[in-house]
Structure 1
Amino acid sequence: MNIGMTALFVTALSMAGLALASENSLYAGEESREIKALSKSEIDGLLAGKGMGYGKAAELNGYPGPAHVLELGDELSLTATQRQETEIVFAQMETAAKALGADLVAAERALDQAFGSKKIDESSLSELVKNIGDAQSRLRVVHLRAHLQQTEILNDQQISKYMVLRGYSRDGHENHHKHHHGR
């Protein structure tokens, strides 16, 4: 077999392997999950009140999150008052997020159980999914509100430094926090 034929043969085998691999679902192995739509780490994060990306719209647009502000407190030169106010914002957010995370996990569990028991129809499907959406939206508001509150606590220099410390681009983040009083 010459080199050209060998290359063609190897390419054909590779493509056949890819075709077989693509027949397997990306979800393979997830059918054994407790709640099919959520991984164990997602459930744990929701129940612990973690951010789970719900504050990303604020975070990436220059509105710091209280958990990260507390982690970076020394680098941001937080005053005692700023640290105390940030701890309050974080505690309120975490408490609300834990409760709403539990609501979301329960709503996802109800949907999963309805499908698992084969006792679901158009009407119950709509209601179950609406419950999930409501829990998600309330949870997202809690996280985004904490970012808004946190921005009111920091001054412009601290916000700029936060963005740098978190590794975000500075483009578009300068002088847009006109509504906070800073300290």
Structure 2
Amino acid sequence: MATKRFALLVAILPSVAFTQTHSGNHNTITSAYAGEETRLIKSLSEQDLEEIARGGGWGLARAAELNGVPGPTHLLELADQIGLTEEQRQEIELIRAQMQADAIQAGEHLIEMEQALDLAFQQGVPTAETLERLVMEAGAARAALRFVHLNAHLLTLTLLTDAQVSQYSVLRGYTYDPCFTVPDGHDPEMWRTHNGCN
């Protein structure tokens, strides 16, 4: 079963991207990854490592964020515009603090697993069995970190009103605010009335 999962993973991975150089030698092919061989962990940039180490989102909560489920960090940044109550702020701050602590811990584990995978290739060519284990462990560590961030979005959603969620989407640029954008050909006053604008 694990071997089938691994085969599927390999099948869907993007092929290594190469670009043709034109420095006079048309037979030279330079990898798009050139320069990354100096990284501490080849699969993670310095920016990635910094983001993970501080418990940052690292783009892992997009499935929630871009589908209308706000996250605690940005909610607190927009607290005044969204109209969060003091009680909401306190509860969301607790969620944010727990998320960051859990993300730092899960991130440390992800870095360890990615480093182990990297070392396997630095020290020689791993066996297929070793490679499968290391890839699965790194994948599980990434999934655990992703869960931390996505779950924090779920927890905040239960604390918000529908209006606050809608305002969040507007302020983050995901949807437009009908109260400020009146389409051509519509009477502004009637448009705002129909859209519940104050």
Which category of TM-score, normalised to the shorter sequence, fits these structures?
0.7 to 0.9
Q: Which amino acid aligns with 1:104?
A: L
How far off its partner does 1:77 sit?
1.1
Q: Provide the residue aligned with 2:135 in structure 1.
A: 129
Provide the C-alpha distance between the structure 2 equivalents of 1:22 and 1:50, rounded to a whole number of angstroms.
39
- 79, 84, 88: which one aligns with 1:78: 84
How far off its partner does 1:24 sit?
1.1
Q: Does 1:50 align with 2:56?
A: yes
Q: Provide the residue aligned with 2:22 in structure 1.
A: 17
Provide the C-alpha distance between the structure 1 equivalents of 2:69 and 2:143, rounded to a whole number of angstroms.
19
For the 8 Å contact 2:21–2:28, the answer to whether it is kept is: no
Count of residues paired in the alignment: 156
Q: Which runs of 5+ in 2 are unaligned?
A: 1-19, 177-198
Q: Does 1:26 align with 2:32?
A: yes
1:74-153 aligned within 5 A: 74-118=80-124, 120-153=126-159
Q: Which runs of 5+ in 1 are unaligned?
A: 1-14, 171-183
Q: Provide the residue aligned with 1:35 in structure 2.
A: 41
- Partner SS, residue 75 of structure 1: helix
How far off its partner does 1:17 sit?
3.2
Q: Which amino acid aligns with 2:40?
A: E
Q: Provide the residue aligned with 1:161 in structure 2.
A: 167
Distance 1:62 1:21, change over 3 A: farther
Task: Identify the structure with the greater helix proportion.
Answer: 1
Post-superposition Cα deviations, 1:131-175, rounded to whole Å, max 9, x if no partner, equal: 1111111111111110011111111111100000000036xxxxx
Give percent identity, aligned residues only.
Answer: 45
For the 8 Å contact 2:21–2:30, the answer to whether it is kept is: no
How far off its partner does 1:119 sit?
5.0
Q: Which amino acid aligns with 2:32?
A: L
For the 8 Å contact 2:21–2:29, the answer to whether it is kept is: no
Q: State the TM-score, normalizing by the size of structure 2.
A: 0.74
The structure whose RCO (Cα within 8 Å, separation 6+) is larger is 1
Q: Which amino acid aligns with 1:102?
A: E
Q: State the TM-score, normalizing by the size of structure 1.
A: 0.80
Provide the C-alpha distance between the structure 2 equivalents of 1:66 and 1:130, rounded to a whole number of angstroms.
30
